[in-house]
Amino acid sequence: MYISDDIVSCQSVSIVTSREVNYQEDKLKLGCSPSQVSMWSYLVRITLSKNTSIGFQDIVTVHLNISTLRNETVWTQQVWQHRATIIKEYINPHTTDTGLEFDIQAEDVLCSDDGTFRCNAIGGSMNAPIERETMGTVELLVKPTTVNQIEVSPKQEMEKLYKPNTLIELSCTGTVGRNPAGELRWCYRRDDMFNFIGWPNADDYDPGMLVSIGCQNIRTSTLRYNVSADYQYTEFRCETGDSEPIQSTTLSYDETTSMLFKIISICEENSIIFSQNYHNIITVSVFCYNTQIVMQLKPV
C-alpha cells in the first residue's frame, strides 16, 4: 500500500518517491525517469542517489553499454539491491516507459531509508548533450506500538494494603513512535464517573525522557498519587497514540475512611467489576476473560 506518491518534475527529468511511509506497514517506492521524452534524442545514464552525512551517494545506475547497445544496471550500495523489487530498469529503447523504478517491501524498509533522494539523467537532444537532475524526499512515520502494564511502588505483595493519604507511584513504559515522538498520557476514572478523563494536574507526573532504540522511541512516565478515602475505587489508564490509542490499565480500590486501600492489576480489556458492601465488608468480583477474581476489603 502507498500512502502518497510525490512526483517532483523539472523540465526534462522526474523523480517518484513514496512521500510518507508508515514503518512496517507501507512499501517504499522510488523511481527516476525523463519527464518529457520528446526532448530527448537518447539517454546515456540514469542515476538515483541519496543524501548522507558526507553528501549524495549513488545507490543505482542504469546506463547504455555503447559496445553492446544493451542496458546495464550497476548497484553501488548492495544494501539497497538485496531489498529491491525491480519494476523497470532500461534507457534503450527510448520510449515513454524509459527509466528506473523499484519498490522496497514493507518488511524490508529500514530506519535509514528516509531522507532526500536525487535523480540524475544524462543524454542528448539535437546532437547537444543534456544533463538534468531533481530531488525528492521520503519521510518514515513510526507509530506507537505498545504500552506495558502499569507498575505500582511500593511494590504490591499478596494482601498488601495501603492506608489513605499514602503516597504511591504509578509508572508506565511504552513505545511512543517518532516524527514526532508521542507522549504518555495519564487518565483516570472513579466510581462516580462514566468515562476516563485526563489527569488534571501535570505537576503530579513526570513525562519521562525519550530513549531511542532502532526506529522507535521509548518513554517511561511516573504518576504520584495520594491515596484518597473519598471514593470506592479509582481506575488508572496510561495511553499513547492519537486516533487509535495504545493503552494499559490498572485498577485501584479506595474504600471509606475506616478502610485500608488495596491496589490490584488485572487484564487490560474485557473486565466487569461487581462490588457489595455487607456489614462493612466489601466484596469485589472481577471477571477477566471468563476468570473470576474475588477479594474482600475489611475495616480496620
Quick check: 261 and 159 in contact, CB under 8 A?
A: no
- pTM for the model stands at 0.69
Q: How many CA atoms lie within 13 A of 286 on its CB side?
A: 16
Domains of the chain and any CATH numbers: 4-141 (2.60.40.10), 151-297 (2.60.40.10)
> How far is the C-alpha of 38 from the C-alpha of 50, rounded, in Å?
28
Smallest CA-to-CA distance from 275 within 225, 237, 231 is with 231
The confidence score (pLDDT) of residue 3 equals 39
Pairing of the two strands 271-278 and 261-264: unpaired
Q: Please name the helix (run of DSSP H) or strand (run of DSSP E) that holds residue 80, with its range, or none.
A: helix 78-81
Pairing of the two strands 128-141 and 14-22: parallel
Instruction: Give Dmax over CA atoms of the chain in angstroms.
Output: 101
Query: Whats the size of the chain, residue-wise?
Result: 300
Low-confidence residues of the chain, pLDDT below 70?
Answer: 1-11, 155-162, 243-300
Express each pLDDT in 37-76 by its tens digit. Answer: 777 888 889 999 999 999 999 999 999 888 888 899 999 9
Look up residue 1 and give its DSSP letter.
-
